[in-house]
Chains A and B, each alone.
Chain A
Amino acid sequence: MIKQTAAELAARIHAGEISSVDVTQAHLDRITKVDDQLNAFLHVDAEGALAAAAKVDADVAAGKPPVSPLAGVPLALKDVMTTKGVPTTCGSKTLEGWLPPYDATVTRKLREAGVPILGKTNMDEFAMGSSTENSAYGPTRNPWDTSRIPGGSGGGSSAAIASFEAPLAIGTDTGGSIRQPGAVTGTVGVKPTYGGVSRYGLVAFSSSLDQAGPCARTVLDAALLHEIIAGHDPMDSTSINAPVPNVVEAAKQGANGDLTGVKVGVVTEFSGEGYQQGVLDSFQAAVEQLRALGAEVVEISCPSFDYALPAYYLIAPSECSSNLARFDAMRYGLRVGDDGDHSAEDVMSASREAGFGAEVKRRIMIGTYALSSGYYDAYYGSAQQVRTLITRDFAAAYEQVDVLVSPTTPTTAFKIGERVDDPMAMYLADLCTIPANLAGNAAMSVPSGLADGLPVGLQIMAPALADDRMYRVAAAYESARGPVLNEIPEL
């Protein structure tokens, strides 16, 4: 049962063939059985999930229509989303034991849609990282090879769906934290258009880039989840007040495998040195597949993309240094050293020292540096100008093509420990995913096969508010490519 897609499970639950309680329990059992090997979950809420499932079953028994197309299908929620009365740590010691007094909008929408929340998934601390090794609660392991990383920051979510602990998950993507974990675990990961999904209750890392989105095993499942969580929210002033693109319809249309009339641009900057040969081979095969489906494929150069990584690693740390000032040990979170002899400032410094891990400290200091007077123009100011150039490159590209494609990541999953002491090597994992965040566009990763036995992702990018375009192309590609996850070894 746990290997079925969310769409299949939903259909069977709504038809009364199986109960949501049984489906939810089967996934809870799976978590009990395999999570010792993966550490994908930081907290499992069996009671809450089963209660939500029982409510859906009662509706079905009473002959009521399902409250949403995914009612009764359980989900794993990244621990960066607040859940009222359920622990929310963001992978940090600072928030150990914190019980939020409110639900994030995404959490509320899931509850209203009758989606049982199995628990909270592991992540790099405050979503800063590309491997989930920066979690204060230990790394998550890749179910394809438990000596390797599951991507990051949302490695818990990607590992959970790849290992059939959950059919669906929520991630957040600031520089690739949904797409890169999707790529290295053979799953689908979507970063919607910036502002498409509310950030209310998403613990902020870099507010102009953070965007929540769906993680799933199929493109249609991702689309179904996308429609549930998306939409304007008055609680988030950066939420876009526009209709949600019809991503479910686009995924269904794409599944017919016809891309006649669709123009696809291959980003020429994303290949060459630093790219694993197997990744490039898989990408080439995917491009040929798109051509075979009827798409017109052209090469597109976006020269400023070469500067996206450095711009991102100035903008994101700058915003993080400001956002994380809220962890001041006064109103919530860890407080240490308050012995009556020390000032608030001393307690603040001691608490932040004890509560934050090395990567968070590095980024706060980089941000503090980049925003200092004397360095502001050269660093933060220049990075903001690069952001303009990247937006212009995208705009020019989308005048010629409907979607852009590239590998999602330069390499397959690396070994746990391999890059922890070399921050720049770690940052390179985000090379191809960052431009879409800086421009606020939509982008997603779909599995494109294996290289040396490990999954590779195809990235499909689309203009802001044209998320449906990429879903159509992804679904067509998926139907031609066939499943990748059926090759995953048993845990």
Chain B
Amino acid sequence: MPNISRDEVAHLAKLARLGVTDDELDTFAPQLDVILESVAKVSEVVGTEQDVPPTSHAVELTNVFREDEVRQGLTQEQALSGAPAAEDGRFRVPRILGEEQ
């Protein structure tokens, strides 16, 4: 099924917010192709089996609730302690809106 082109790798990288260089595209395209070709084997076995529900998790999960009461969390100082940039007790980020917006 797969046949991953450089353009497709560039598209995946964009979706995943990953900058990639031209050299990386050359390396990744054949590698991802081999990996995806190999893992595509999963559809073979399932195709021959009837009625196989998917398993997303090994443990049966139920929602966990707790009393809605105030508990000690991180202080503002702790929460900002690893921030690349902070200002006035908040995370400072690059602009998030384009010029035309």
Contact = CB atoms under 8 A, between A and B. Distances in A.
B70 interface: no
A338 interface: yes
Contact of B55 (A237, A353, A384): A384
Contacts of B16: 321, 352, 364-365, 368
A344 B84 CA distance: 13
B84 to A, nearest CB: 4
Interface SS, A side: helix
A362 B91 contact: no
Interface in A113-145: none
A366 interface: yes
Contact of A99 (B52, B63, B82): B82
B13 A365 contact: yes
A311 B9 CA distance: 21
B39 A314 contact: yes
Nearest to A346: B94
A146 interface: no
Tell me whether chain B's interface is mostly helix, strand or loop, or mixed: loop
Contacts of A387: 54-55
Contact of B32 (A98, A369, A378, A385): A369
B40 A362 contact: no
A237 B58 contact: no
Contacts of B78: 101-102
Given A238-B59, A362-B28, A310 B38 contact: yes
A486 interface: no
Interface string A202-216: 000000100000000
Given A240-B59, A365-B12, A365-B18, A329 B46 contact: no
Interface of A: 98-102, 194-195, 208, 234, 237-238, 240, 304, 307, 310-311, 313-314, 321, 325, 328-335, 338, 340, 342-350, 352-354, 356, 358, 361-362, 364-366, 368-370, 372, 378-379, 381-389, 391, 423-424, 438-441, 464
Of all A-B residue pairs in the complex, the 7 with the closest CB atoms, nearest first, are A440-B58, A353-B19, A332-B82, A384-B54, A335-B84, A101-B78, A310-B39
9 contacts: A304-B45, A338-B84, A343-B94, A353-B21, A361-B20, A364-B18, A385-B46, A386-B42, A387-B54
Interface of B: 1, 4, 9, 12-21, 24, 27-28, 31-32, 34-36, 38-46, 49, 52-59, 61, 63-64, 66, 74, 78-79, 81-85, 91, 93-96, 98
